[in-house]
Amino acid sequence: MTAAGNWQITAMLRYPVAMNTPTDWRNAVQVRRATALADERAMQGGRTTVFDFSGIGGSEKAWVGSVHVAPGSNTGPHTHGRHEVMIHAVRGRSEIRWGARLEYAIEIGPGDAVYFAPHVPHQERSLETTEMVEYLVVRSDNEKIANQLPDVQPVENPQCF
């Protein structure tokens, strides 16, 4: 956690399309906390860039959409292939897990933003019991790549941040 309240594993990583699947996923995700963004708004006179996203395919090819996850459910382990992905939590609390066995986890809520480097195995899980979780999602290309990973056996107790 930085002094400003941002939790950042490392600077954004960019994996080339032809690269084999990395084995160290720990550093492939970034989270921006809503509380830190509130501080930035105050410092920047009311304007803030929630997340500076410049995809590998260029902005004219980006995909933007609203994704909902039902109470108590999850997306299942998946990747978006060569795409960079950013999600912004709009409504509800959820757990984001990532890694080869989903061994890393962080809880997020409204206003938080999460960046996924290309090829990162991840899963979004709703922590809500009655309402939908809603995300604004941006992908670096408008191809509908969502590679489900049914053989992933998640660890029982992920390392939480």
> Tens place of pLDDT for every residue, the chain, 161 residues?
343 433 333 333 333 333 445 566 777 776 767 666 555 544 444 433 444 444 433 446 777 778 889 999 998 999 999 999 999 999 999 999 999 999 999 999 999 999 999 999 999 999 999 999 999 988 888 777 889 999 999 999 999 99
**Based on C-alpha coordinates, what's the Rg of the chain?**
15
Would you state the pLDDT for residue 37? 54
Longest CA–CA separation in the chain, Å:
48
Under CATH, domain 24-145 is a member of which superfamily?
Jelly Rolls (2.60.120.10)
**d(C-alpha 78, C-alpha 96), whole Å:** 12
Single pTM value for the model: 0.67
Nearest to 125 by CA among 92, 88, 80, 159: 92
Please measure the distance between the N-terminal and C-terminal CA atoms of the chain and give it in whole angstroms. Answer: 9
